[in-house]
Structure 1
Amino acid sequence: MNRDEHASAELVARYAAGDPDIPPDRLWAVESHLEGCEVCRVRLADVAPPPVAALSAAVWAALEPELTAPPARVRHWTRLATWATPSLVPWLIMTLLVLFAVVVLELVLPSDAMPSAVLLLAPIGPVLGVAVAWSRGLDPAHELIACTPRAGLELVLRRTTAVLVVVLPVLLLTGWLTGDSAAWWLLPCLGLTSAALALGGLVGVRRAAVATSVLWALLVVGPAVVRNAVPVVLVPAAGPWWAAVLVAGAVVVLMRSRAYVRVDNW
């Protein structure tokens, strides 16, 4: 049976009656044809036996309200999932609690006891959020979202923006309470996030974010606590260098935009 050739009335009637004597090749051909031919499906419905017609009518009556109802809730959650993931909620709560504890600690301890914890931790705050946003094991809608047309660089930037929109105001508030100006940590914060995304094009965004956070803790936070001094990378004079890191990371991300379509970057 050609694709443009309709099934004969006899074959449609035999198929509707469930004739076991239809040759397998013709049975496969008519079933394949019915999938794409509305005319033959209508002819099949007209000659279907009463029990089959009654069953089809009952199934359609039960499914029609759900099929014709506007899926507003589905669209709402799908749109939300492109900007955030439910796994971010526990992380945001933990971040708020940690920053609250840091503020209390800095207000209680003498100012010269150790470098500002807000200053040391602020640059990796969004980076950790990006790691959670791209964790395959923590995102229940991973397979669904990863298969969408926007699952590449656009989705990476959407979820990174969602993290920054939530984290930066909290960091600004804690910095204001502890007296740590954003001029000290804002550019390092954006620069590290950009560097983590650029590295994510090679090893995966989650791995890159975790690696960036670990290296920051080992190379910057640890020595600063031991020496009881603000690290050189967090002084205002380092701002131009962090701006260069931010721009370089953004350029690498744009040049390697196709790399973020790979599933392993999830």
Structure 2
Amino acid sequence: MNAEHASAALITRYVRGEDLADDVVWALESHLETCAACRGALAEVDTPGTLSALESVWTRLEPELAQTAPAPRRRAAWLRTWVTPVMLPWLLMALLVIVAAVAMDRMWRGDGGISFVRLCAPVLPVLGVAAAWTRGVDPAYELIAATPKAGLYLVLRRTTAVLAVVFPLLLIAQWLTGSAIAMTLLPGLAFTSGTLALGGIIGMARAAYTLIGLWAAIVVLPTVAFQREASLLGEQWVPLWATVLAVTAVIVVLRRGAFTRLSARRW
């Protein structure tokens, strides 16, 4: 496949179902989505029995199609690769959590007191990341998972959609409460990457619940109990969070194949 169009030989092999490498299939199908010329070439490829089968199907469907009103064009179909139906209510919930955290900071936070925004920030994106690729909450899961773009590519795309909404909200919250930007966003990135890394082993939803539970037990409960700022969110811990982010990101890349082979029970 050259820089502009797929070769006729490659398109013919694809139509006939010949054995092609996964990366070649992925590249070809991605190209076909945007290239009308190659889609036209695809339609012209003939295989034994193709035309007769098409004529047979068309003969049966033509009377029914003539009596059926055309469906309205779905202009936002491309959004399915970025979001799932469950992500909108989750994002609304995230907004409410941030508003509540800001309100509690304004009402009860004194000098050296607890910042609820900083306590929530690291794990706020985690459930959204889990919702981005979980079988039980996406009605189109089987359809999307069967595409060549499934796997890490799709997980990262949907994760980006979550972060693109959550992080601006957190930036506004930290500006309103005076929290440090690095300690609002960097732990959140580390937990997001950690969820992806652990999700490739035990499943995204289980990874999210595990990390949230650990954060609550190790940081949130002691912080609230002793009424002092969480030590792990101090500026001296920035190198640690950066290291966690880097290590988990490497794990995600090295185990990228796990996102295309995970069984249904692990999501």
User: TM-score, normalised to structure 1's length?
Assistant: 0.73
Match status 1:125 vs 2:124: yes
What residue number does 1:10 align with?
none
Identity of aligned residues (%): 47
Pairwise CA distance, 1:214? 1.3
Pairwise CA distance, 1:158? 0.7
What residue number does 1:38 align with?
51
Pairs within 5 Å for 1:40-119: 59-63=61-65, 72-73=73-74, 76-77=76-77, 79-112=78-111, 114-119=113-118
Pairwise CA distance, 1:81? 1.3
What residue number does 2:176 align with?
177
**One-letter code aligned to 2:263:** V
Are the aligned partners of 1:83 and 1:159 in contact in 2 as well (CA < 8 Å)?
yes
Pairwise CA distance, 1:66? 7.5
**One-letter code aligned to 2:49:** G
What residue number does 2:134 align with?
135
Are the aligned partners of 2:121 and 2:170 in contact in 1 as well (CA < 8 Å)?
yes
Tell me how large the CA RMSD over aligned residues is. 2.8
Name the one with the larger helix percent.
Answer: 1
1:37–1:190 Cα change, 3 Å: closer
**One-letter code aligned to 2:150:** A
The alignment of Structure 1 onto Structure 2 pairs a total of residues equal to 218
Are the aligned partners of 1:146 and 1:263 in contact in 2 as well (CA < 8 Å)?
no
Are the aligned partners of 1:114 and 1:225 in contact in 2 as well (CA < 8 Å)?
no
User: Which stretch of the first structure deviates more once superposed, 208-217 or 109-118?
Assistant: 109-118
Alpha-carbon separation, structure 2, partners of 1:169 and 1:86: 21
Structure 1: which 5+ runs fail to align? 1-34, 46-55
What residue number does 1:187 align with?
186
Are the aligned partners of 2:194 and 2:245 in contact in 1 as well (CA < 8 Å)?
yes
1:212–1:60 Cα change, 3 Å: same
What residue number does 1:51 align with?
none
Pairwise CA distance, 1:226? 1.1
Alpha-carbon separation, structure 2, partners of 1:149 and 1:237: 43
**One-letter code aligned to 2:194:** A
User: TM-score, normalised to structure 2's length?
Assistant: 0.73
Structure 2: which 5+ runs fail to align? 1-47
1:226–1:37 Cα change, 3 Å: closer
Q: Counterpart of 1:257 in 2: which secondary structure?
A: coil
**One-letter code aligned to 2:62:** W
Question: Structure 1, residues 108-156: CA drift from partner, whole Å, max 9, x if none?
Answer: 2241584100001100011121122233222111121121111111011
Are the aligned partners of 2:151 and 2:256 in contact in 1 as well (CA < 8 Å)?
yes
Pairwise CA distance, 1:37? 5.2
Larger Rg: 1
